[in-house]
Amino acid sequence: MPHTHSRHGSSGDDLCSTDEVKIFKDEGDREDEKISSENLLVEEKSSLIDLTESEEKGQKIARPDHSPVFNKLDTHAPSFNMGYLVSPYSYANGAPSGLPVTMANKIGLPPFFCHNADPLSTPPPAHCGIPPYQLDPKMGLTRPALYPFAGGQYPYPMLSSDMSQVASWHTPSVYSASSFRTPYPSSLPINTTLASLLPSVHATSHHVINAHAAIVGVSSKQECGVQDPTTNNRYPRNLETKNPSNTQSNDSKDTNDKKKPHIKKPLNAFMLYMKEMRAKVVAECTLKESAAINQILGRRWHELSREEQSKYYEKARQERQLHMELYPGWSARDNYGYVSKKKKRKKDRSTTDSGGNNMKKCRARFGLDQQNQWCKPCRRKKKCIRYMESLNDNGPAEDGSVFDEHGSDDDEDDFDDEKLEGSCGSADETNKIEDDDSESLNQSMPSPGCLSGLSSLQSPSTTMSPLNMNANSTSNVVFPATSNALLIVSSDQTTAQQRSTLVSNSGSSSGSTSSISTTPNTSSTVSPVTCTTGPCPGSSQERAMMLGNRFSHLGMGLSPLVVSTSTSKSEPFFKPHPTICNNPIFSLPSIGNCSLNNSIMPNTSRNPIGANPRDINNPLSINQLTKRREYQNVEMIEASESKTIVAHAATSIIQHVAVHGYHANHSLLNSSLNQHFHHQLNNRTEKPNRSEQKMLSVSSHSVNSSECHKESDSQAIASSKTSSAGSSDNGVISVS
């Protein structure tokens, strides 16, 4: 309605937008405009034929073709509207053999039901009386009753051709027509006509009006509890009784006054996708926790091709269109504050926000010396604040420029949170793990009351993070800013062959790291769904991750597992250095082929799988964990920066250059550093200067695997020190 039309003006821009979402949406908007105009015409004409329709429908209703759907599916029907309205039953035999695959797609069946020649892709004929959506193993049977508006309350509009299609696929999926049977008094021309037009897939003897799931009682959840298993309607009986014969206007108004139906928002593309895919993911991952599943789905969503997504955008567009048609006066604003939880949420969030602000305010107001006057959240995060303060002083800007520099654009908006997250287990804690960890544990365990965002941060997970972060930062030498850093670890600790592979991968392009991580900055890429590319390679990975490999995301372990599954099934892409495997510091359960002794992971046992969404070990926290990991790596690099290591790194590079010569376009020195390195290395080859070595801290860190080598792997250090070209390889590769 208004908003929709108002959006039309921006369609042009949307088309130019790089956001494919908008593109899809825009296309839909234009069609919506067309549909709207068509509907107006149809509505006018419908009034002229209502009586005839109502009479005819009584005779024809038994016909199973439910034309609008199938008519619409019949290739082209430009004049469909009128022709349909006059003669809604276009099928000659009136008995479509079954729902086309496209229909199956549209009715919300999971992909494995819809694609290709799967027998299930062809739902039973409508006359069987089995709603196609029942095919859905999970959602189908539980699918709520759709848009159960009372008979005259939200009459189906005269559907245009497009809308007919919408209704056709919508009916089974969202606008269930299973149980709401309205007599449609002749006094309601539109309704009667609509009733005949409605794709009563169930081919009951009565007209079936689609009850839109968007309408919920005052309490949707309560209504949901009344779901009728026989009809798949979430709001079956009560509304059904509401629909009786004289449904009309007077009742609707009274009903609205007495009990305002809650008209839910139409599902967007992603929601539709989730509805379809949830069951599949649940089956694959044996997960039931929606939050975790949603994470997977969210990543899969991004992995979908443009075309695949466009399907859902189109569906969503149609959803909105139909919703708009059904509830012309409805606005998303109407649902604001629905369930009264708005107030609480708002309160919580205001608390959260105030807490977040207070963290700054407290620090600003009371200063670090008077933390006892800080509010609770601030006290909890005092280290974070402290660290961030020092961090800001040291370089990594609050704006996340460090990450941006490496192309981390997706999570820029999260960086603020990440800062806090990462800082919770950050560098300064490295040197006082026990103290801080325990403290953090004590403080963060009672996450309730915490900000939603911070709650997870402060969840037990965070308490673990120091240790894990130690492992991360020290072991993987992952430079956080870029996924290439993942290669650093590998390059440093793999065989020459593997190293070459890594080099080639890293040298190919920045995107080459996608083999390990689809996107550089989003930890999510590393996470389970990363390997979903392909038939469903990720399922096992996801499952594995969900079932206990979560630690792999906490640091070095993240890429190895993913890589091993995604790139090479036979041989892991990443082989951790024995030092890492044997070093208790690296307290990850498994790294590639390296099976770490779980005994050195004191915290792993305390995290039942998927038990608590707030638990860091829970896959729900993958993003945050990985983000934190990345950030923590930065912190660790900053914090553990040692001149000795730096010097060694610089020496390694210099030696490499000295031995192999320096090439301006050396693949190991990418463009961003070329110029700088060129200048620096020229100077260093002549006279290495340690004072400048800090500039190479990044690579040096990689070379030395940070504190791991420094503190517990003297052998590695020795080898790297003694090695000339070899060590330089390590270092230089890490640079790339």
Partner DNA sequence: GGACCTTTGAAGCAC
Partner DNA sequence: GTGCTTCAAAGGTCC
Applying the rule CB under 7 A, the residues between 280 and 319 that interact with DNA are: 288-291, 294-295, 297-299, 301-302, 309, 313, 316
| Tokens found for residue 305 | 């091709």
What H or E segment, with its residue span, contains residue 591?
Answer: strand 590-591
**Which residues are within 8 A (CB) of 650 and not within 5 positions of it... i.e. 6 or more apart?**
684, 688, 690, 692, 693, 696, 700
Site string for DNA, 639-678 (x = CB under 7 A): ----------------------------------------
Sign of the CA dihedral with 114 first, then 120, 122, and 128 last? negative
- 638, 396 contact by CB (below 8 A): yes
* Beta carbon of residue 251, minimum distance to DNA (angstroms, whole number): 23
88 within 8 A of 104, measured Cβ to Cβ: no
Amino acid letter, 149? F
- Quick note: the x/- pattern for DNA over 603-642, rule CB under 7 A, is -------xxxxxx----xx-xx------------------
Point out which span in 249-257, 269-277, 502-510, 576-584 binds DNA (CB under 7 A).
Answer: 269-277
Task: Map the footprint of DNA across residues 434-453, applying CB under 7 A.
Answer: 446-448, 450-453
Of the pair 264, 656, the CB lying nearest DNA is at 264
SS (H, E, C) 467-519: HHHHHHHHHHCCCCCCCHHHHHHHHHHCCHHHHHHHHHHHHHCHHHHHHCCCC
Give the nearest distance from C-beta 419 to DNA in angstroms.
15
Least distance (Å) from DNA to the CB of residue 299?
7
Structure tokens at 369: 């010396």
For DNA, the closer of residues 21 and 73 by Cβ is: 21
For DNA, the binding residues in 194-223 under the rule CB under 7 A are 213, 219-222
Alpha carbons 110 and 34: distance in angstroms, whole number: 30
User: C-beta of 118: minimal distance to DNA in Å?
Assistant: 22
DSSP per-residue letters across 687-704: S--GGGGGGGHHHHHHHH
SS3 label, residue 263: strand
Q: How far is the CB of 713 from DNA (least distance, A)?
A: 34
Asked whether position 724 contacts DNA by CB under 7 A, the answer is no
In the beta sheet, which residues pair with residue 212?
147
Interacting positions 524-553 with DNA (CB under 7 A)? 524
Shortest approach of DNA to residue 43 CB, angstroms?
Answer: 21
- Residue 229 interacting with DNA (CB under 7 A): no
Q: What share of the chain is helix, strand, coil (3-state, %, to 5)?
A: 65, 0, 35
Range 60-99, binding DNA (CB under 7 A)? none
How buried is 675 (Cβ within 10 angstroms: 0-12 exposed, 13-18 middle, 19+ buried)? exposed
Residues 415-434 that bind DNA (CB under 7 A): none
Establish if 476 lies at the interface with DNA (CB under 7 A).
no
Residue closer to DNA (CB basis): 4 or 187: 4
Span interacting with DNA, options 253-261, 331-339, 577-585, 645-653, rule CB under 7 A: 331-339
387-391's contacts with Cβ under 8 Å and 24+ in sequence apart are 387/423, 387/426, 387/427, 387/428, 387/635, 388/419, 388/420, 388/423, 389/363, 390/428, 391/419, 391/423, 391/426, 391/635, 391/638
Among 265, 376, 379, 678, binds DNA (CB under 7 A): 265
Per CB under 7 A, 274 contacts DNA: yes
**Cβ–Cβ under 8 Å, residues 469 and 707:** no
**Binding residues for DNA restricted to 142-161, rule: CB under 7 A:** 142-144
* Nearest-approach distance from CB 337 to DNA, in angstroms: 5
Please give the size of the binding site for DNA, defined by CB under 7 A: 83
- Nearer to DNA (CB atom), residue 21 or residue 194: 21
Residue 278 binds to DNA (criterion: CB under 7 A): yes
534/427 Cα distance (integer angstroms): 38
- DSSP-derived letter for residue 260 is -
Residue closer to DNA (CB basis): 414 or 713? 414
Question: To the nearest whole angstrom, how small is the minimum distance from the Cβ of residue 113 to DNA?
Answer: 16
Beta carbon nearer to DNA, 360 or 663: 360
User: Which residues between 337 and 366 bind DNA (CB under 7 A)?
Assistant: 337-342, 344-346, 348-349, 353
The smaller minimum CB distance to DNA, of residues 300 and 709, is found at: 300
CA angle 477, 489, 383 (to 5 degrees): 20
